[in-house]
Amino acid sequence: MTAKSLINPLAVRNLGCAVKENKKLMIVISILHLLGIPMGSVVILVQFWLDSLQQDGYYYSGYVDLAGYMVIACCCLGAALLIGMIAATGVFQELWKKTRVDMIYSLPMTGSQRFASHYLAGTVVYVLPYLIACVLGWLILITGGFVLDFEAMDTTRSFYFEILFKYYTIGTIGAFLLMMLYYTTTVLFTVCCGTLFESIYTTLLLNCLVPGTFAAVLAVICDNVTGLSFEYLWHPIGYTSPAGGLIYLLYLTSGGDLYSYSYHDLTASQATTHGMIPAFIRWSLVMVLLIAAVLVLAWHLYRKRRAEAIGKPYVYLLAYYIMLTLLTVLILTLFAVGMNGAAILFAAVVYLIMEVVRKRGFRKFWLSAVSFACTVAITIGLFALVNATKAFGSVYRIPAAAAVTSVRLEFTDMPAASVELEYTDKEIIRQVQELHRDIVADMKEYDDIRTPIDQLMEEMDYRILRYDNYDYYGEYVVNQAGAYGYSELDPETMSDDMKMMYYDYWYEDDLIYADSPRFEEYYQYAETEWLDITYYTVTGSTVHRSLNINMDQYCKLLNIVYGTELYAQMYADFLYDNLGNTLSEYNEDGTRKLDPAGEMTLENLEVSRTIHFLCTEELLERLRDAYYSDLLELDPAATGGVYAMWRECPIWNNCTATIAILEEEMGMEPFDAVEIIGIADLDNNEHEFYTNGSYMEVIQDTLDIRIYTPETVRFASKSGVGIAGHQPYVKSHAAAYTDRYHSPGSTAMREVYPELYKLLNAAVRHEITENSYMIVVNGTWWTVPQEYAEAVIAKGSGYAEEQYWDQLTEDYEWQYRSGEDEYYDDIIIEDSAVFAAQ
């Protein structure tokens, strides 16, 4: 078929006729579009104008809320877009309306000409009003850009136009492609069906099912296969359907975070590397190809389709069986893959009902039952295959170094900032791959479970169980402990007596795993960090892995990134840009005008100190350069601990040049004299407060502090300690002792805090040395140089358990008895004698 034969005058005439026949629909769509984009544009401009009036100090009566108009505009736009289905079925009436068959098919046209003219007619009816509305929107917004008084607003004209061109272009082109995909898929499904009912419901269902099933299956696979991350693998959903495409577009235009439309964090500068515009162009190209593929398929099927097929629910059963299979897989996936009887039953009911609807009765019902059984078996089989082969080996796959153009690392840096760094340096890539191989080797050894912990637990010979008991009046009675074989505590096999105790009195958190040949390995992995590695390859593809790493691997990671230019540059630029921005006003051309009255608040644990200085661009640049140099020299094994934090930027004690500028030129006083800020909040039952990047959860006047001696550090586990309540207690079975005490109320805490601050100031979380003490404050961990810990322990011993208990009992005994506050049921009182012995 040539283009000439398609652009036959008869086909063009038929196009005109089809448009005329659907002119009422086109008018409705046009009205909706005019109420959509152009009205939305007007609302945006009016809002800008009102804001400028307000900021200019003018008074206008009352608060004008234009959000309602915006909602109407969005609803109209949404309705206009959804009408694509009516447009598609409207122009292809010969596919579902029996009375039109003879009239349309007998016209002197070939099947291809008929298809082309009808397809284009639908496009004109559906898309032309949208394009006109887009042009109108452009005109309104561009005119507004020249008319609005930007001097009276927070923004600048150039920023306005930048945002306008960037987002409006992406939005309008993206929406156009989504409309075309939606319309073309509807045409395809209309060709596949012989009735209007089937056309509509197949279109609706498949538009939801394709992305829905994709997401559900991917989520299940990522949940079961170590290293695969839904967060990084879901992007193809943007090509699955118009709805999926819309989600992806929202993700792109929101700066890569669907949950927030701001990305003012450390990642902002990095996010642009693989940013919105290239991603959008890539997406658009794929969408164009996808639309073309769907169109060619629809055309081919249309030509093959016979006039007499009208009235059959499904002319091409492939579409129906794809829909049915996706629905079954989705149900099985959502409930629990395969083995859940309820899921299979529910899926069977849905499957068989759809079969009865399609066949308009129970004809060959047994065949439907067999096909359902096959679908379920294949689904379960495929899931099992993916799990067994670790997603066909992709979990272990590390791309060849030569093929990697860059590698992006995402992890939590010591100050608890989520950091993204992308390296192109071949040496760094080699080191990352070496680390990755180390992690993969561990994964293989531990059979790929998400963390080796689970497997190690399985292999433990015993679970040591401890639980807390209270008498009728809520009085604490005694710790009970016992050693049980693993199988004894397996809910599947345990005796009824054990079961009763297990469920009535014991808690999973109370189960301690010990006495295993792999016991030490368990604790090696008890403290884990996460690391996301993304390789960008020469072919443009990406390989992403989300990994759990142990502390050794974490230290290796820090050794790779600390001291790199990128790492230093990232923090230095963040400090310079953000500090400068907070102290600036913007000129119309977008440049910033520094306020000489500089102010900066630095924090150390919960203590903050605001300094005032004469702010100049030169000072900020020197501060940036000093910080950059310091970080470039940073040795992860000897940071000297945190001196202070400015937002997410850690200023380490070894950042001597930076500290010199802060102290000598900007008036910073060291944190030697500890200020306690926040105790007042604690008195008001504030439940959390912040330290350097982490937060501690405080349960109403209760501070859970645990100190582990160097001998016991290896038994310490992040997952094993949390907030007060049902904590693991390892003293008797770890062949070492652990000391801890609960500070008794806010008064005692006031006294303990200064020492605690000193201790935490000196602490470095990731430096684990043989002689390190570990301190855990309400579940947050620090490694402490030995000399500090000794001092604190000596000081802290004054707050022994009895003192705390006395006060607790006095204040809250009635609450125990009445059971009003569950918190107190959870508080554990440990044997203070152990602490005293220290």
Which residues of the chain form contacts with other proteins (CB under 8 A)? Answer: 8, 10, 13-14, 16-17, 21, 99-103, 105-111, 113, 306-308
Q: How far apart are CA 274 and CA 284, in angstroms?
A: 15
Structure tokens at 425: 């340096």
- Closest CB 99 distance from other proteins, rounded Å: 4
The residues, ordered by sequence, that sit 6+ positions from 555 with a Cβ below 8 Å of its Cβ are 636, 637, 766, 768
Smaller CB distance to other proteins: residue 8 or 480? 8
The residues, ordered by sequence, that sit 6+ positions from 621 with a Cβ below 8 Å of its Cβ are 576
Which secondary structure element, helix H or strand E, spans residue 809, and what is its range? Answer: helix 801-818
CA dihedral 189, 193, 196, 200 (to 10 degrees): -30
Q: How far apart are CA 725 and CA 713, in angstroms?
A: 21
Smaller CB distance to other proteins: residue 198 or 442? 198
Structure tokens at 691: 């330290």
Smaller CB distance to other proteins: residue 306 or 593? 306
* Apex 657 CA angle, 654 and 661, nearest 5: 125
- Closest CB 120 distance from other proteins, rounded Å: 16
Q: Are 187 and 122 in contact (CB under 8 A)?
A: yes
- Closest CB 23 distance from other proteins, rounded Å: 11
Smaller CB distance to other proteins: residue 117 or 328? 117
The HSE-up count of residue 214 (CA atoms within 13 Å, CB side) is 18
Smaller CB distance to other proteins: residue 114 or 408? 114
Q: Which of 724, 711, 700, 703 is nearest to 770 (CA)?
A: 711
Q: What pairing do the DSSP bridges indicate for beta strands 462-470 and 592-594?
A: unpaired
Q: What pairing do the DSSP bridges indicate for beta strands 418-423 and 528-537?
A: unpaired
Q: How would DSSP label each residue in 632-699? A: HT--TT----EEEEETTEEEETT-HHHHHHHHHHS----TTS----SHHHHHTT--EEE-SSSEEE-B
Smaller CB distance to other proteins: residue 17 or 555? 17
- Closest CB 106 distance from other proteins, rounded Å: 4
Q: Are 419 and 769 in contact (CB under 8 A)?
A: no
Smaller CB distance to other proteins: residue 111 or 640? 111
Smaller CB distance to other proteins: residue 282 or 304? 304
Burial classification of residue 591, based on how many CB atoms lie within 10 Å of its CB (0-12 exposed, 13-18 middle, 19 or more buried): exposed
Smaller CB distance to other proteins: residue 102 or 149? 102
Q: How far apart are CA 767 and CA 770, in angstroms?
A: 10
Q: Are 411 and 557 in contact (CB under 8 A)?
A: yes
- Closest CB 537 distance from other proteins, rounded Å: 48
Q: How far apart are CA 262 and CA 256, in angstroms?
A: 9
Largest CA distance in the chain: 103
- Closest CB 11 distance from other proteins, rounded Å: 10
- Closest CB 351 distance from other proteins, rounded Å: 25
Smaller CB distance to other proteins: residue 101 or 661? 101
Smaller CB distance to other proteins: residue 194 or 728? 194
- Closest CB 128 distance from other proteins, rounded Å: 21
* DSSP 8-class letter at 606: T
Q: Label residues 22-32 b or e (16+ Cβ within 10 Å = b).
A: beebbebbbeb
Smaller CB distance to other proteins: residue 9 or 540? 9
Q: Which of 289, 261, 266 is nearest to 276 (CA)?
A: 261
Smaller CB distance to other proteins: residue 64 or 103? 103
- Closest CB 141 distance from other proteins, rounded Å: 40
- Closest CB 1 distance from other proteins, rounded Å: 10
Tell me how far CA of residue 428 lies from CA of 182, 407, 631, 632, in angstroms. Answer: 45, 9, 17, 15
- Closest CB 157 distance from other proteins, rounded Å: 52
Burial classification of residue 62, based on how many CB atoms lie within 10 Å of its CB (0-12 exposed, 13-18 middle, 19 or more buried): exposed
Smaller CB distance to other proteins: residue 315 or 730? 315
C-alpha 105 chain-centroid distance: 53
C-alpha 188 chain-centroid distance: 35
- Closest CB 193 distance from other proteins, rounded Å: 17
- Closest CB 310 distance from other proteins, rounded Å: 11
- Closest CB 206 distance from other proteins, rounded Å: 26
Smaller CB distance to other proteins: residue 17 or 619? 17
- Closest CB 306 distance from other proteins, rounded Å: 6
Q: Which of 214, 219, 216, 257 is nearest to 239 (CA)?
A: 214
